[in-house]
């Protein structure tokens, strides 16, 4: 993460210095560079925070409470499977989908990290 922040700041600095007219005052260049660095640092920190938040919040579909649309959005889940999943509620664990032959093992493996049974 720190390396990405460093790369972003370096890129902004090089871009701001490389795109300036040759006749600019060195003090103005220094001030513009400081301003660009501050803005880039804030933006990079926001990006890093967003990535961290996304990684922490692993969204999963609760097979006991999900709407048909939420279940249908899972990769490879058909409308018929959605109907069977809803009809078979409640589930103590997600692997009951395979035990009850509602989805195949291969289909389950494809969605296992995206579902929960709360």
Instruction: Tell me what pLDDT residue 7 has.
Output: 65
Residue where one domain finishes, among candidates 14, 34, 56: 56
Instruction: Tell me what pLDDT residue 33 has.
Output: 87
Question: Is 35 found in the same domain as 15?
Answer: yes
Residue 88 contacts residue 100 (beta carbons within 8 Å): yes
- Each residue's pLDDT tens digit in the chain (118 positions)? 666 666 677 776 666 665 555 677 889 888 888 888 888 888 888 777 776 665 555 579 999 999 999 999 999 999 999 999 999 999 999 999 999 999 999 999 999 999 999 8
Q: Which domain holds residue 67?
A: 61-116
Q: What is the pTM of this model?
A: 0.52
Question: Is 78 found in the same domain as 49?
Answer: no
Question: Is 46 found in the same domain as 10?
Answer: yes
CA–CA distance, 5 with 87 (Å, rounded to integer): 49
Question: Is 44 found in the same domain as 86?
Answer: no
Question: Is 110 found in the same domain as 85?
Answer: yes
Question: Looking at the 3D structure of the chain, how many domains does it have?
Answer: 2
Q: Report the DSSP beta bridge partners of residue 62.
A: 116
Instruction: Tell me what pLDDT residue 70 has.
Output: 96
Instruction: Tell me what pLDDT residue 91 has.
Output: 97
Instruction: Tell me what pLDDT residue 86 has.
Output: 97
Question: Is 68 found in the same domain as 52?
Answer: no
Instruction: Tell me what pLDDT residue 24 has.
Output: 79
Closest CA to 8 of 34, 38, 41: 41
- Give the CA count within 13 Å in the CB-facing half-sphere of 44: 18
Question: Is 65 found in the same domain as 52?
Answer: no
Question: Is 45 found in the same domain as 27?
Answer: yes
Instruction: Give the CATH number for residue 109.
Output: 1.10.150.320
Q: Report the DSSP beta bridge partners of residue 61.
A: 115
């Amino acid at each position: 993460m720190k390396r990405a922040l460093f790369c972003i700041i370096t890129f902004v600095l090089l871009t701001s210095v490389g795109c300036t007219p040759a006749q600019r005052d060195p003090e103005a260049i220094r001030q513009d560079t400081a301003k660009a660095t501050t803005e880039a640092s804030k933006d990079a920190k926001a990006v890093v925070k967003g990535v961290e938040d996304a990684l922490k919040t692993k969204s999963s579909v609760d097979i006991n409470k999900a709407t048909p649309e939420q279940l249908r959005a899972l990769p490879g889940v058909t409308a018929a499977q959605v109907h069977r999943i809803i009809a078979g509620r409640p589930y103590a664990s997600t692997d009951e989908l395979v035990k009850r032959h509602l989805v195949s093992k291969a289909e389950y493996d494809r969605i296992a990290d995206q579902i929960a049974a709360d």
